[in-house]
Amino acid sequence: MKDVAAAAGVAQSTVSRILNDAPVRIRVSDATRERVHAIAAELGYRPHPFARALRGAPSMLLGAVVRDITDPFFAEAIEAMSVECDKRGYSVVLGHAHAKADEALALTAVLETRHCDAIVLVGDFYGERRLVEDLRSAPLPVVALWHGSERHGRPFPTVAVDAAAGINAALDHLTSLGHRRIAYVGGATRYVIRDREVAYQEYLAAAGLPQAEGYICHVPNTIGGGELGLSTLLGLVQRPTAILAATDTLAFGLIHAAAARGIGVPAQLSIVGFDDIQLAAGTVPSLTTVRMPITEMVAAGVELAVGDAGWLSSDGQPPPRVVFQPTLIVRNSTGPVAPES
């Protein structure tokens, strides 16, 4: 910019005013403006973001702390966030949430803090008390996406999905197909997963369906976890005729394990997933699952984080919580209960 000013024979401040279309725009002579613009273009001038940020301008960086980008669902969420941020001129900085030690995780997050205008937490951070504490006292907006229900407290503005609505739709579908012995497979810890489990339990209780203890199966959220879940459930005296999986990844594992054992899906066993990842349409059979409006949810989260609603200032109120409705996508992994099972 110094060079531009020198080449144009004007002061830096003039160049700054012109290039920023300052509020006092009308008060700069057209001749000078054009000359400066031309020279700036010719010299290939680019503003230096750090210098601006040093002056207090927003860094246009949004921190995204994701538990596991490898999870196809979160990958889609990040994709959506990248698109949404791009629209607003922001860039996404990936926070790293894989550190084993709480300390390291917190440290990483705090580092992000320095660069970014806001932080978006994607997925819940059960067990990361330290991280959450540090972020609570951080001087920037923090927004949580898919952070589990308010049952578990709500430290930040939150965007969530109505887990009960999704689970109810899935279970309505299964019961309408005649299923009564419906098992559940899901992770044991994450808030957002526990919400689905609770909704499952409440539905069963309300509908008077059998709630055998073994019908709730806690496994890691992987293909292997799904396989483990199936073999556990097959060991029960009263085998379920349908299984509700907390995530599509688990449903994949269930389908895979069923096929390996020669159990027909959906002829002998119906399976429902949750997430509707892109590959859910490509399983054999294709997966009946619950879809969430990822794009809209992410957009809402980004708006809370860097939008001009000024959430941080409303000190007295509890942080806002935006809830979206999921949709059941019926494909071919569910069918009528087998007469003789």
Instruction: Give the binding site for a second copy (CB under 8 A).
Output: 46-51, 53-54, 59, 61, 64, 68-70, 72, 75-76, 78-79, 82-83, 85-86, 91-96, 98-99, 108, 110-115, 223, 226, 249, 252-253, 255-256, 259, 278-279, 281-286
Indicate whether 19 belongs to the interface with DNA (CB under 7 A): yes
CB of 159 to a second copy, least distance (A): 20
Three-class SS state of 65: strand
Minimum CB distance to a second copy smaller for 19 or for 83 = 83
Question: Could you tell me if 227 and 253 are in contact, meaning their C-beta atoms sit under 8 angstroms apart?
Answer: yes
CB of 257 to a second copy, least distance (A): 9
What tokens appear for 174 in the block?
């299964």
Minimum CB distance to a second copy smaller for 116 or for 209 = 116
What tokens appear for 200 in the block?
């499952």
Stretch that binds DNA, among 20-28, 222-230, 244-252, 279-287 (CB under 7 A): 20-28
For residue 139, whether the previous peptide bond is cis, meaning omega lies within 30 degrees of 0, is: no
CB of 202 to a second copy, least distance (A): 30
Q: State the pairing for strand pair 289-291/327-329.
A: antiparallel
Which phi-psi region, left, alpha or beta, contains residue 107 (left: φ > 0; alpha: ψ -120 to 50)? alpha
CA 48 to each of CA 42, 196, 327: distance values in angstroms, whole numbers, following the listed order: 17, 47, 45
What tokens appear for 193 in the block?
């997963």
CB of 68 to a second copy, least distance (A): 7
By CB neighbour count within 10 A (0-12 exposed, 13-18 middle, 19+ buried), where does 205 fall? exposed
Indicate whether 100 belongs to the interface with DNA (CB under 7 A): no
Out of a second copy, DNA, none, what residue 229 binds, judged by CB under 5 to 8 A for its kind, is none
Q: Which helix H or strand E contains 304, and what residues bound it?
A: helix 294-306
Indicate whether 7 belongs to the interface with DNA (CB under 7 A): no
What is the rounded CA–CA span in Å between residue 108 and residue 97? 8
Minimum CB distance to a second copy smaller for 87 or for 129 = 87
What tokens appear for 331 in the block?
């494909």
The rounded radius of gyration (Å) of the Cα atoms in the chain is 26
Three-class SS state of 325: coil
CB of 85 to DNA, least distance (A): 20
Out of 6, 21, 25, 32, the only residue in the binding site for DNA (CB under 7 A) is: 32
Out of 37, 52, 154, 239, the only residue in the binding site for DNA (CB under 7 A) is: 52
Indicate whether 29 belongs to the interface with DNA (CB under 7 A): yes
Indicate whether 101 belongs to the interface with DNA (CB under 7 A): no
What is the rounded CA–CA span in Å between residue 161 and residue 194? 13
What tokens appear for 33 in the block?
């403006």
Indicate whether 2 belongs to the interface with DNA (CB under 7 A): yes
Out of 47, 127, 210, 336, the only residue in the binding site for DNA (CB under 7 A) is: 47
Residues in touch with DNA (CB under 7 A) = 1-2, 9-14, 16-17, 19-20, 22, 24, 26-29, 31-33, 45-48, 51-52, 54-57
